[in-house]
Structure 1
Amino acid sequence: MNIDVHAHVLLPAVDAAVADRPGHAEHRALDARRNGPASLRASGAMIGERLHRLTRVDARLADMDAAGVDVQIVSPSPSHYHYWADRDLAREVYRLANEGTAAHCAASDRLHGLGLVPLQHPDLAVEALDHAAALGLRGVEISSHAPGRELSDPALAPFWSRAEAHGAVVFVHPFGCTLDERLDRFYLSNIVGQPVENAVALSHLVFSGVLDRHPALKILAAHGGGYLPAYLGRADHGHAVRPEARECADPPSTYLRRMWFDSLVYEPSALRALIDAVGASQVVMGSDHPFDMGVDDPVARIRAALPAGPARDAVLRANATALFALPT
């Protein structure tokens, strides 16, 4: 089986739940400032054209067949995070997201799902993770941060512990970049912003010692981990020479071989460089289906980058089977 670990579903019930709620207008205004009017128009048109592929199981399965994908791990659109929401609304959002994703995936045994948790309320994040596990979801998707809360925040320790206990995958997928208006043209908010946010989020997990304290965590990074795997020498050098960068026990590069990374790096040479940095056992296939920054041919791209053999088989299927505890 060829397994795509990075694919999304759009859940209209979540959008309906947050519409006109206090804080939603401010959230939309921030999104507009970060992306700029040209990108907002283009993204609206793109979503409209691909709505059936984001919501209908038959369209999803047809896309999978065309791409040679046998199994997808489906996560909610990152636009559903809504980390601005108060406790009551946050609970409603995670329940709708988890239940909606589970229902979507229940329509085919080729689909498995991830839920959402409200990072802005760490105690509710634990509750939401339990809810996702009870629905049979394989883990949860989180952004690179919540307002005022990095992934290194000690308040998230109970969430990491519960994820370990469940054996749940935590899929780190950014939404929005705090560089704000500096990236509001040319779609830099996504083209540059997403890999920046990946690198910052993973660095918080590594340098803070979260992965020392929670060694069984299953962290999966979208977009090949962003810029971090390509510049590990600087991270290791900083750890060696700066005392404040030594809250982690080992050089930062060693922790990347304890996380997993999707293959969405576009170029064969980039995929091979990622494997050199983290190991073939830590890379899984990802497409970002069906968004335009994703790829429609993830299997073909891996075959173009890697010769037939154990490494290719690991990236296409074996690593994801083990990571998500899928039936073989």
Structure 2
Amino acid sequence: MEPGFIDVHAHFVTDAYVARARAAGHERPDGVPGWPTWSATAHLELMDAAGIAVSVLSMSSPGVHFGDDPAARTLAREVNEDGAAVVRDHPGRFGMFASLPLPDVDGALSEITHAFDVLGADGVVLETNTHGVYLGDERLAPVWAELDRREAVVFLHPTSPVCWERSALGRPRPMVEFIFDTARTVTDLLFAGTLRRHPGVKVIVPHCGGALPVLADRINGFMRLFMPPGTEAPDALAELRGLYYDTAGPAFPRQIPALLALAEPDRLLFGTDYCWTPSPAALAAAGAFDAAEPPVPGATWRSLTTANARTLLPRLTASEGGHT
């Protein structure tokens, strides 16, 4: 019997969170027409229809920091408590990546402790930038050190760059800007040496790696060109192959082949992007994976990505239906 998918790229929203975001000016979040609605009941219906055993919930863009550190700490704690309650109320069906109030480092460190030690989070979600602070910024070093100490799973999620008013050309930012902001923050992590200094952190890059598969050789070449004299250039391609990649978005027919030219099959994870991706599209994504030729003989995309997720997130036990 085929295992259920483990969806590592799944979102939730609450009425209280949406109200806070709207009050901060996010009436049309990242330029999309409006906010989605979410309930555990509707999410479970989608999961059952798509053959998804477990969904790992996280907050999407615009995150929890709207410009005020104390308010961001409060909101991060609130959404993490809400997510943990969903996990408790539906045993075996949900996991959670906790939100952090970056770029507030002290607040983030406090929330890491609460998320892992009290709520039992499966990892954390980090937006690609917060108010222009990208993830390789040296100010965030204490956060990466603590995540490394815990050997944490870090799920990256794109958000709008600070230059979106000009670069997005009036279009919704998830279409193009998200893809390049993912590449921008991972490139920042590579150049800053963050990934090399913290090998215990297990990073998930969303949306088939964004633009990274087609930019990887270019990034690697530039890193070799611009290293300080006398310094050995790191192998950016090897570092990129060491990351995990979820497949949310239009993975077929072009993005998956590009990603497989960079990453090994054991680094790929299934994702739907529900609830920001509507149910019909999420169902179509699951169907596309079931219909596609897998890259490993004797496996299916379903069995492959589920086995990878269980290795990365051992508390999510597909054979038992979920979170233990």
TM-score (norm. length: structure 1): 0.85
> Would the alpha carbon gap of residues 18 and 302 (structure 1) be closer, same or farther in structure 2, given more than 3 Å must change?
closer
Deviations 1:189-219 (A, max 9, x none): 2211110100001101111100111011111
Query: Matched residue pairs, number?
Result: 306
Verify the 8 A CA contact 1:206 1:248 in the aligned structure 2. no
Q: What corresponds to 1:292 in structure 2?
A: 277
User: For 1:91 and 1:165, how far apart are their aligned partners in 2?
Assistant: 22
**Amino acid in structure 1 at the alignment position of 2:180:** V
User: For 1:94 and 1:305, how far apart are their aligned partners in 2?
Assistant: 38
TM-score (norm. length: structure 2): 0.86
Q: What corresponds to 2:298 in structure 1?
A: 309
Pick 1 or 2: higher relative contact order, CA cutoff 8 A, min separation 6: 2
Q: Which moved more, 1:282-291 or 1:302-311?
A: 302-311
Query: Which structure has greater helix proportion?
Result: 1
User: For 2:176 and 2:316, how far apart are their aligned partners in 1?
Assistant: 37
Deviations 1:222-246 (A, max 9, x none): 1122101222111121122223599
Deviations 1:252-303 (A, max 9, x none): 1111121111012511332122122111111100110122376333332223
User: For 1:130 and 1:246, how far apart are their aligned partners in 2?
Assistant: 40
Verify the 8 A CA contact 1:268 1:304 in the aligned structure 2. no
Q: Say which of 199, 207, 222 aligns to 2:206.
A: 222
What RMSD, in angstroms, separates the aligned Cα atoms of the two structures?
2.5
Verify the 8 A CA contact 2:249 2:273 in the aligned structure 1. no
Verify the 8 A CA contact 2:245 2:267 in the aligned structure 1. yes
Verify the 8 A CA contact 1:75 1:113 in the aligned structure 2. yes
Q: What corresponds to 2:121 in structure 1?
A: 137
User: For 1:271 and 1:2, how far apart are their aligned partners in 2?
Assistant: 17
For residue 188 of structure 2, give the secondary structure of its aligned residue in structure 1: helix
**Amino acid in structure 2 at the alignment position of 1:128:** E
Pairwise mapping of residues 207-286 of structure 1 onto structure 2 (< 5 A)? 207-243=191-227, 250-266=234-250, 267-286=252-271
Q: What corresponds to 1:2 in structure 2?
A: 5
User: For 2:61 and 2:94, how far apart are their aligned partners in 1?
Assistant: 18
Verify the 8 A CA contact 2:161 2:177 in the aligned structure 1. yes
Deviations 1:112-142 (A, max 9, x none): 1111001121121111111111201111111
Q: What corresponds to 1:326 in structure 2?
A: 315
For residue 8 of structure 2, give the secondary structure of its aligned residue in structure 1: strand
**Amino acid in structure 1 at the alignment position of 2:258:** A
**Amino acid in structure 1 at the alignment position of 2:89:** A
User: For 1:246 and 1:298, how far apart are their aligned partners in 2?
Assistant: 48
**Amino acid in structure 1 at the alignment position of 2:154:** V
* Runs of at least 5 residues in structure 1 that lack an aligned partner in the other structure: none
Verify the 8 A CA contact 1:289 1:296 in the aligned structure 2. no
Pairwise mapping of residues 94-243 of structure 1 onto structure 2 (< 5 A)? 94-108=76-90, 109-133=92-116, 134-181=118-165, 182-187=167-172, 189-243=173-227
* Runs of at least 5 residues in structure 2 that lack an aligned partner in the other structure: 318-324
**Amino acid in structure 2 at the alignment position of 1:8:** H
User: For 2:269 and 2:263, how far apart are their aligned partners in 1?
Assistant: 12
Q: What corresponds to 2:56 in structure 1?
A: 73
Pairwise mapping of residues 38-53 of structure 1 onto structure 2 (< 5 A)? 39=32, 43-44=33-34, 47=35, 50-51=36-37
